[in-house]
Amino acid sequence: MLRLTELRLPLDHAPDALAAEIVRRLGIPATDLLDHTVFRRGYDARRRGAVVLVYTVDCMVRDQDAVLARLADDRHVGLAPDTAYRFVVDDGAALAAREGYRRPVVIGAGPCGLLAGLLLAQMGLRPLILERGKIVRERTVDTFALWRKSVLTPESNVQFGEGGAGTFSDGKLYSQVSDPRHYGRKVLAEFVRAGAPEEILYLSKPHIGTFRLVSMVEHIRAEIEALGGEYRFGTRVEEILIARDAAGARRVEGVRLSGGGTVSTGHIVLAIGHSARDTFAMLRDAGVEMRAKPFSIGVRIEHPQSVIDMARFGTQAATPLLGAADYRLVHHAANGRAVYSFCMCPGGTVVAATSEEGRVVTNGMSQYSRAERNANAGIVVGVAPGVDYPDDPLAGIAFQRHWERQAYLAGGGGYRAPAQRVGDFLAGRPSTHLGTVEPSYRPGVTPTDLAACLPDYVVAAMREALPMFERRLRGFSMDDAVMTGVETRTSSPLRIPRGPDGQSVNTAGLYPAGEGAGYAGGILSAGIDGIRVAEAVALTMAGRPVDG
């Protein structure tokens, strides 16, 4: 199979234009093209109003070797890599049937825990998945209670519950992580089997929106259970039981659960996400090695989607194939801070995303259609341990909590968020009212001065960045664009280091994974990391070396 990249065609090309372009690029007669499939379709919108589609195509041709030899110098033609997934352990069921078998435990049913659990189940290892929150349908009710009635359920919300943090999201499914083993393909293939649209396999920036995600995590649960795995919801892990061998080395022996009782296990996938602050504190007390890491804080910004569409696509805005436009912006401010757009949600809404009482946290979500009036994105600024807060693993959490509390107070309580017009923010005056852009955050916003709930250096860097972003996207710093604060849960404020065997550097049998441990940032990369650690667990259980 050959792979061709960079096949460029107009937005409105005829269906057979792709085959014609393949034939032209390969310099072969049309009859020599035996088959072709689109591996990836993206677009190049660098020239506004002249957007083109860009394809990567896999094709079967007559006399492939001759074609390859003739085009040896063309870097856009080569052999298609083998992306098929192969299990690393195929005797898991026999292992699990042995007397005294102790199941691997997965803590957390977010994308990382779900993919780890699914892979372990598919390998026959019958995992036990422990999730502090509720099943996804019940969790949806609790999450909407915060948005509609200002009632937060601390164990069941946007951050906690089946599906993890990305369940009420834009469901963007792309990632910048290096993925030489094509695990991302396996994640996407599993998502399609669970009900995601097939297009996620070939679109360069696929997304699925909130409601599909809800039914997908239910499908994944059904498969894990059918394969002998087990879930326990409303079950928070409150202690990792650790034993020491004669030489003093630490090894996990089990977990203690919130409802009382313990589970004995020698293998724990720790996929707790970035908001399990109590669990991080518990792990620290238990002596698990962890380190502070940088993250970012800032606000959500909202514009009319039509402004973003026009700025990016010009006269081609509203072309169905392009959908609602996204953007990605970065500015390096004079005070040394990087300001960048984060988790952009075209045609979506800003959501209340706190998991703790008396705090306000923003994030963004959308439906599959991305048809809401506003575009939103985080505009965030990097902060670092040892510079902005002490270089202690839990200090970043204290820093987040402080600003989330300031936002709650500035919002006036009841989980209303502080908001400001961009024009007022740039002029350094509080907003007393909002303008033409209606904020989508629920349960509501309070016009105020966002400088009260962000560090000075963050405010200064954002004031410098917004006019720069205007140069790239006309309308971006329009007076009536709305900023809603604060965005603090951009990534984990700490890292739980692991060795090449996937295990904690000082606690054998503990496999830190996903976003909370600092190994992922987003749904796809969390799923990829779930596969990685599931393989490490399976190989270790089978007594084979882990090829880190």
160 or 183: CB nearest ligand FAD: 160
| N-term to C-term CA, the chain | 29
2 or 353: CB nearest ligand FAD: 353
Q: φ and ψ at 401, to 5 degrees?
A: -60, -40
Where b means 16+ CB within 10 Å and e means fewer, 287-304 reads ebbbebebbbbbbbbbbb
Cβ 172 to ligand FAD shortest distance, Å: 4
364 or 455: CB nearest ligand FAD: 364
Report the interface residues with ligand FAD, using CB under 6 A: 107-113, 130-133, 158, 160-161, 164-166, 168-172, 236-237, 271-273, 276, 279, 343, 351, 353, 363-365, 514-516, 520-524, 526
CB atoms near residue 24 (< 10 Å): 11
Cβ 261 to ligand FAD shortest distance, Å: 14
28 or 518: CB nearest ligand FAD: 518
Look at the block and give the residue holding tokens 């710093």: 477
Q: Are 349 and 441 in contact (CB under 8 A)?
A: yes
* All residues at 6 or more sequence positions from 176 whose CB lies less than 8 Å from its CB, including other chains: none
Q: φ and ψ at 112, to 5 degrees?
A: -70, -50
169 or 406: CB nearest ligand FAD: 169
Cβ 378 to ligand FAD shortest distance, Å: 10
Cβ 206 to ligand FAD shortest distance, Å: 10
388 or 529: CB nearest ligand FAD: 529
258 or 306: CB nearest ligand FAD: 258
Helices (H), 59-164: 64-70, 92-96, 111-122, 136-149
Tokens, residue 316: 């081609």
Cβ 219 to ligand FAD shortest distance, Å: 17
Measure the CA–CA gap between 206 and 192, rounded to whole angstroms: 12
Cβ 184 to ligand FAD shortest distance, Å: 11
Q: Residue type at 197?
A: P
Tokens, residue 57: 């195509």
Cβ 280 to ligand FAD shortest distance, Å: 9
Q: Residue type at 13?
A: H
CA nearest neighbour of 509 among 228, 238, 240: 240
96 or 350: CB nearest ligand FAD: 350
DSSP label at residue 452 = G
**What is the sign of the dihedral through the CA atoms of 64, 69, 73 and 78?**
positive
Cβ 334 to ligand FAD shortest distance, Å: 30
18 or 112: CB nearest ligand FAD: 112
- Pairing of β 128-130 and β 230-232: parallel
Cβ 210 to ligand FAD shortest distance, Å: 9
